[in-house]
């Protein structure tokens, strides 16, 4: 009997159908995040029987999936979020795309969704962006957000691995969070809620981690006027993440040393952010202060705050790069944090990463199309 090998995802099979009605209008860049989807999408189907089908770039259109598809019932969905920038030399580059696709592969494995060839997939994504080049804003505080997504589409209601899946990518031009400079924000740390738990999926980027956070976020804003949630974990109220950002604390530690501290990934609670990794790598190269991945509880934080040892707190993530925290609300107390943005470490990191993004400082993290 002849057994046919499963097909892998191959860039050379890519088929392209262009839209007859392009919709890009230049200059309209006061954009609500993710509201303006570019003209084309990438779509590839997979079956357990045959493997990956032919990848296609085509005009954006609704997905054709059965109402019994597993994604609609059991959140069999994973995604990534990365950005392409129009650089100072006019070329379009992606920021650390291989890191994003590595994280996506790890998430796919955890979600029992199919593996894909990361470099072939990257070539397809690069082609998609070059097809929609005009959608990459020509502005130093804007970019094209790229959203690769993988869903389980088998139309059966059993809770089991999906024998059908769909991989697709859409893109959207996004404006800056920083039109008026680095705007500090406040956090609600309410120990009543957790985002992730030991042995769970906090360290992976899957849709099921996000839907349950929306009500908590809404409550933080409406009841307390806090823009983001600081997620705590455990009886000792460990500080873990901020909304959809990683957490950094720049302080003078108990030994009297300047230190940049971020929660460690070892617990599995925390998403291994690509911006987090970049902040750690850059600040370790500077060799100006200690850079540590370790745990910090609210009790340790409050002691340092009372001693006047907290210098800065900030979040890091693809959407915002770095964003300073001005206040933490916790158990009816408010802790104000200095945000002297001109001379801050947050501002320095923002400047450094921005000059890498737009290539005024050429860096191997950026990949051309
Ligand atoms: N934590 C969570 C929960 C997130 O959703 C994100 C955004 N992807 C981050 C941290 C930051 O990750 P990155 O720097 O890769 O965007």
Question: To which residue do tokens 């890498």 refer?
Answer: 356
Nearest partner of 209 among 81, 311, 298, judged by Cα: 81
Q: What is the pLDDT, as a whole number, of residue 42?
A: 98
ipTM reported for the complex, 2 dp = 0.99
Ligand 1 atom at minimal distance to the Cα of residue 99: 15
**What pLDDT sits at residue 28?**
55
Using the atom order of ligand 1, give the atom closest to the CA of residue 318. Answer: 16
Instruction: Find where tokens 């597993």 sit.
Output: 70
Among 197, 317, 349, 353, say which to mutate for ligand 1: greatest number of ligand atoms within 8 Å of CB: 317
Spacing, Cα 256 to ligand 1 middle (Å): 31
Q: Rounding to the nearest 10 degrees, give the CA dihedral for residues 244, 61, 55, 36.
A: -40
Task: Please state the atom number of ligand 1 nearest to the C-alpha of residue 277.
Answer: 14
Angle subtended by helix axes 118-131 and 97-110, to nearest 10:
120
At 187 the pLDDT is 97
Instruction: Read off the pLDDT of residues 18-44 as tens digits, 9 standing for 90 and up.
Output: 999 998 876 555 666 777 899 999 999
Q: pLDDT value at position 32?
A: 67
Whether the Cβ atoms of residue 231 and residue 242 lie closer than 8 Å to each other: yes
Please, which residues bridge with residue 319 across strands? none
Dihedral sign (CA 281, 287, 289, 295): positive
Closest CA relative to residue 116, chosen from 8, 4, 5: 8
Residue 340 CB: number of other CB atoms within 10 A? 11
Whether this model's pTM surpasses 0.90: yes
Q: What is the pLDDT of residue 338?
A: 87
pLDDT confidence of residue 29: 54
Residue nearest to atom 4 of ligand 1 (CA): 244
Around ligand 1, the residues with Cβ closer than 6 Å are 81, 241, 244-246, 271, 273-276, 316-318
Class of residue 332 by CB neighbours under 10 A (exposed 0-12, middle 13-18, buried 19+): exposed
Query: Rounded mean pLDDT of the chain?
Result: 94
368 contacts: CB under 8 Å, gap ≥ 6? 91, 92, 93
Give the three-state DSSP class for 254. coil
Nearest atom within ligand 1 for CA of residue 271: 1
Q: Calculate how far, in angstroms, residue 267's C-alpha sits from the geometric centre of ligand 1.
A: 16
Least Cα distance to 182 among 363, 365, 349, 305 occurs for: 349
> For residue 295, how far is its CA from the centre of ligand 1 (angstroms)?
18
Half-sphere exposure of 172 (CA within 13 A, CB side): 16
pLDDT in tens, 185-238: 999 999 999 999 999 999 999 999 999 999 999 999 999 999 999 999 999 999
C-alpha of residue 35 to centroid of ligand 1, in Å: 20
Residues whose CB falls within 8 Å of the CB of residue 128, separated by 6 or more in sequence, listed in order: 40, 41, 42, 57, 169, 171
Query: Please, which residues bridge with residue 146 across strands?
Result: 82, 171
Which residue's alpha carbon is nearest to atom 9 within ligand 1?
245
Give the residues of the chain that fall short of pLDDT 50.
none
Ligand 1, atom 2, lies closest to the CA of 244
Q: What is the pLDDT of residue 266?
A: 96
> Nearest CA to 310 among 299, 321, 301, 323?
301
Contact between residue 171 and residue 38 where contact means Cβ atoms under 8 Å apart: yes
Would you state the pLDDT for residue 177? 65
């Amino acid at each position: 009997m002849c057994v046919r090998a499963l097909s892998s995802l191959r860039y050379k099979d890519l088929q392209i159908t262009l839209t007859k009605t392009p919709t890009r209008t230049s200059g309209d860049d006061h954009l609500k995040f993710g509201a303006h989807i570019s003209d084309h999408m990438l779509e590839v189907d997979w079956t357990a029987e045959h493997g990956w089908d032919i990848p296609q770039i085509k005009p954006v259109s609704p997905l054709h999936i059965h109402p019994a598809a597993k994604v609609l019932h059991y959140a069999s969905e994973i995604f990534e979020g990365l950005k392409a920038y129009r650089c100072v030399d006019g070329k379009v580059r992606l920021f650390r795309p291989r890191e994003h696709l590595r994280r996506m592969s790890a998430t796919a494995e955890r979600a029992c969704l199919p593996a894909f060839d990361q470099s072939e997939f990257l070539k397809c994504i690069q082609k998609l962006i070059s097809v929609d080049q005009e959608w990459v804003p020509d502005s130093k505080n804007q970019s094209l957000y790229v959203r690769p997504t993988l869903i389980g589409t088998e139309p059966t209601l059993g809770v089991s691995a999906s024998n059908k899946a769909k991989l697709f990518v859409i893109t959207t031009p996004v404006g800056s969070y920083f039109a008026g400079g680095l705007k500090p924000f406040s956090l609600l740390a309410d120990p009543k809620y957790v985002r992730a738990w030991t042995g769970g999926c906090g360290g992976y980027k899957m849709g099921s981690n996000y839907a349950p956070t929306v009500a908590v976020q809404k409550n933080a804003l409406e009841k307390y006027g806090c823009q983001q949630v600081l997620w705590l974990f455990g009886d000792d109220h460990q500080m873990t993440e901020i909304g959809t950002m990683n957490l950094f604390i720049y302080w003078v530690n108990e030994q009297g040393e300047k230190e940049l501290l971020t929660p460690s990934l070892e617990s599995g609670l925390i998403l291994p952010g690509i911006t987090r990794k970049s902040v750690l790598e850059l600040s370790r190269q500077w060799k100006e202060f200690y850079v540590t991945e370790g745990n910090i509880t609210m009790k340790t934080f409050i002691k340092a705050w009372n001693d006047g040892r907290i210098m800065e707190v900030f979040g890091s993530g693809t959407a915002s790069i770095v964003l300073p925290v001005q206040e933490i609300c916790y158990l009816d107390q408010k802790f104000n944090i200095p945000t002297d943005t001109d001379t801050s470490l947050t501002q320095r990191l923002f400047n450094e990463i921005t000059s890498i993004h737009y290539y005024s400082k050429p860096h191997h993290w950026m990949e051309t199309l």
